[in-house]
Amino acid sequence: MNIQKYGAVAIISMLALALLVSEIARLSTDRGYRDLSTELAETRQIADTALKAVIPGEILKEADKSVYMVLNNNEHYGAAFVIDRDRGVLATAAHVVAELDFDANEKEYSVLNRHTGKPLRIRNAKIHSGYERFRKLVETYQPVDPDSSIRSPRFFRIFDMAHDGALLFVDPFDPETGENLLGPNLPLGNEEKLLALSAGDPVASIGFPVDTLTANVMEESAASRIERGVISSMIAPIDLVERSKDPVANNLIVHRMAIAPGNSGGPLLDKDGDIVGINSHASYSGFSNGDGLAQRVDVIYDLITPYLEEDRLEGVYFPEWTTRLNKWPKADDLFPHALYYMYADIDESEIKIPEKLKDIDVSDDKPFEVAIHKVEFPEFATRYIHFATDLIETEKQKKEGDEDEEEEDDDAWKEAKNRPSFLIEDFGQYYPYSFLLRKDRHYVFFAYDYAIDWETRGYCPLQLYHRRRGETELQSIRQRQLSSIHVKPDSDSKKINVYEVIVQRRLCGIENNEFSIGVLSWKADNDAPAKGEVQTALQSIAPQAVLQVASSIENSVNCHARTLGDPAKCERSIKVRNMTPELYEE
């Protein structure tokens, strides 16, 4: 009886448990259905919001009428868009028009799009002053990567453009009909909207990327390309981990749209069709995912509003840029120390040589003396001829104080049939100078050139040619980031104590011709130098004229650090030769 009773209880318990499990499963399924239903509803709402946020094709089609290709002598140069149709004013990127020379009669600058098919002449341009001031500030400061090796010091690369905005002024009227050929004005986003831009906002780009156009059909086509995307981030030039406390300073728009040459200067539109940015450049990191950068369009408000441009530069941007640059040391402070450790014969048991630039102790008590000067390269030359005046043989001896006889000798030298010279057959900019040597001292001549240039790594490699006066060969060394020559002490009294150096820069950083040269010096026994010795040596610099020769360049030596060729060609000697006047006349 008890067994039957216990069996019935067990059966009932099992049935109850089954019912409980079934009810739990039903409730869970119902909850799952409700969760899925809620999720689907939310997804639909998000999708509806996203679809509404997508910039309608009609807006872009209408805006396309006001976007123009910028032509330099019929060569594609960038893009621009209309902001004042009646006055013929267009907005573009500063770097698109920075090199235009409106005083050159042989140059023809115009804008063109396919909606009219007629080029409109560009009369002038106005560039935001912050564009050049930012470049000048960074290239003068020359930030150094403190984690780089002391034996291979490197610059900290900055390639963001600040205030990359400009105005173009064109003749908008058709000379035949008098009709205004410009498209309608494109509205600029108000400043409240511009400061509210954030990651995830939809944007669209219109431009003329060169990868889709060819020179043969460019003028006939002038077909723009339109692309949609979203804002990835709002950053400040010299982007660091911390964001600027002032949202005005975060005026670079990072967006997820490819930017190619030809897009520069084109508009960035929001979902309302308002212009919020000017396309500037792409992200050039080796690990880039194809992001593009645009200058927030409030730079145009600076250009069209009296005093606003300078007020913002002095009150917001310049202090912000300076604060960010101060995160890194300067080349002028660290490079002389790095060179001293590289060339000086140091007893490491007494002085430990630092491994990285950040380990250098920059103090007033230096074991060397250094003088650094900022100088500028002259114009480009297809060849360079360096006259070896010390190798000229003359039978006449000048009499001290006889000015007439000196003038006669000068005229005779100029009219000489043959002149001892060194010929460098290579395109570039050349800066020659000389400095004095003391025979009981070490000297290191050095040169470097920081550059904000998208196609470089933050610097322009410099090639050095050098010789001691009296020598008949001009030596050269390969291009480096920090180019240097070490001249050891020499007690030979027969050698001339004047050294000549020629610095060459090829096509690089052409918007700024300034670079740094210097001389480092210490005594052979490592005693501290007398104050002013190196400064006196540098004051003897006497640049010679750069002569341009109209001839083709054949077998030019290109030892660029990125495509280093045969070292034997990079480090070679050029022997003196007699140059006839016909070879260097223009």
- The CATH number given to whatever domain includes residue 378 is 2.60.120.380
Inform me whether the pLDDT recorded for 17 exceeds 60: no
459 and 386 in one domain? yes
Whether 6 maps to a domain, the answer reads no
Whether 35 maps to a domain, the answer reads no
Question: Any residues with CB less than 8 A from the CB of 506 and at least 6 apart, and which?
Answer: 426, 427, 428, 429, 460, 461, 463, 558, 560
Q: What is the pLDDT of residue 13?
A: 52
Give the pLDDT band (50/70/90) at residue 168.
Answer: very high
Inform me whether the pLDDT recorded for 167 exceeds 90: yes
Number of domains in the chain: 2
Whether 39 maps to a domain, the answer reads no
Average pLDDT over residues 243-262: 82
Question: Length of the chain in residues, anyone?
Answer: 586
Inform me whether the pLDDT recorded for 424 exceeds 70: yes
Inform me whether the pLDDT recorded for 372 exceeds 80: yes
Average pLDDT over residues 241-263: 81
Q: Which domain holds residue 72?
A: 60-128+163-325
264 and 243 in one domain? yes
Question: Any residues with CB less than 8 A from the CB of 157 and at least 6 apart, and which?
Answer: 457, 458
Most confident of the ranges 413-417, 444-448, 451-455: 444-448
- Alpha carbon 556 to chain centroid distance? 26
Give the pLDDT band (50/70/90) at residue 50.
Answer: low
561 and 526 in one domain? yes
Task: Kindly report, residue by residue over 493-544, the tens digit of the pLDDT.
Answer: 677 788 899 999 988 877 788 999 999 999 876 544 444 444 444 444 434 3
Whether 151 maps to a domain, the answer reads no
Most confident of the ranges 268-282, 352-366, 382-396, 560-574: 268-282
Q: What is the pLDDT of residue 552?
A: 23
Whether 156 maps to a domain, the answer reads no
200 and 216 in one domain? yes
Domain termination residue (choose one: 310, 325, 340): 325
**CA 529 vs CA 370, 373, 571: distances in Å:** 10, 19, 31
Average pLDDT over residues 448-465: 82
Inform me whether the pLDDT recorded for 468 exceeds 60: yes
340 and 295 in one domain? no
Whether 406 maps to a domain, the answer reads no
Inform me whether the pLDDT recorded for 270 exceeds 90: yes
Phi–psi pair at 32, nearest 5 degrees: -60, -45
User: Among candidates 180, 165, 225, which has minimal Cα distance to 84?
Assistant: 180
Q: What is the pLDDT of residue 186?
A: 95
Q: What is the pLDDT of residue 367?
A: 87
Task: Kindly report, residue by residue over 312-370, the tens digit of the pLDDT.
Answer: 999 999 999 999 899 999 999 999 999 999 898 877 666 788 889 999 888 768 889 99
**CA 370 vs CA 40, 302, 461: distances in Å:** 72, 43, 22
Beta bridge mates, 154: none
Give the pLDDT band (50/70/90) at residue 456.
Answer: low
494 and 461 in one domain? yes
State the pairing for strand pair 514-523/498-505. unpaired
Q: What is the pLDDT of residue 301?
A: 94
Q: What is the pLDDT of residue 416?
A: 43
Average pLDDT over residues 221-237: 83
Task: Kindly report, residue by residue over 63-110, the tens digit of the pLDDT.
Answer: 999 999 988 876 777 899 999 999 999 999 998 988 788 877 777 888
Task: Report the mean per-residue pLDDT for the chain.
Answer: 76
Q: What is the pLDDT of residue 584?
A: 44
Better-scored residue on pLDDT, 558 or 121: 121
User: CA 159 to CA 135: how far, in whole Å?
Assistant: 9
264 and 122 in one domain? yes
Q: What is the pLDDT of residue 465?
A: 92
Q: What is the pLDDT of residue 34?
A: 52
Beta bridge mates, 71: 76, 110
498 and 480 in one domain? yes
| SS3 sequence of 157-218 | CCCCCCCCCEEEEECCECCCCCCECCCCCCCECCHHHHHCCCCCCEEEEEECCHHHCCCCCH
138-160 in b/e form (b: 16+ CB < 10 A) is bbebbbbbbebebeebbbbbbbb
In this prediction, what percent of the chain has a pLDDT beyond 70? 70
In this prediction, what percent of the chain has a pLDDT beyond 90? 32
Give the pLDDT band (50/70/90) at residue 303.
Answer: very high
State the pairing for strand pair 292-296/252-255. antiparallel
Task: Kindly report, residue by residue over 476-491, the tens digit of the pLDDT.
Answer: 887 778 999 999 888 7
Better-scored residue on pLDDT, 549 or 13: 13
Better-scored residue on pLDDT, 10 or 462: 462
CATH number at residue 184: 2.40.10.120
455 and 355 in one domain? yes
Give the pLDDT band (50/70/90) at residue 141.
Answer: very high
101 and 237 in one domain? yes
Whether 140 maps to a domain, the answer reads no
Average pLDDT over residues 392-413: 49
User: CA 67 to CA 79: how far, in whole Å?
Assistant: 7
The 8-class DSSP code of residue 143 comes to: B
Average pLDDT over residues 123-147: 92
Q: What is the pLDDT of residue 417?
A: 45
Give the pLDDT band (50/70/90) at residue 553.
Answer: very low
Give the pLDDT band (50/70/90) at residue 583.
Answer: very low
Better-scored residue on pLDDT, 308 or 257: 308
Give the pLDDT band (50/70/90) at residue 5.
Answer: very low
State the Cα angle at 161 between 160 and 165, rounded to 5°: 155
Whether 113 maps to a domain, the answer reads yes
User: Among candidates 346, 405, 369, 331, which has minimal Cα distance to 530?
Assistant: 369
Q: What is the pLDDT of residue 185?
A: 94
DSSP E strands in 299-450: the ranges are 369-376, 384-387, 419-424, 429-436, 441-448
Average pLDDT over residues 249-260: 85
Q: What is the pLDDT of residue 371?
A: 92
Q: What is the pLDDT of residue 46?
A: 56
Domain termination residue (choose one: 325, 352, 373): 325
339 and 216 in one domain? no
302 and 451 in one domain? no
Domain termination residue (choose one: 325, 341, 371): 325
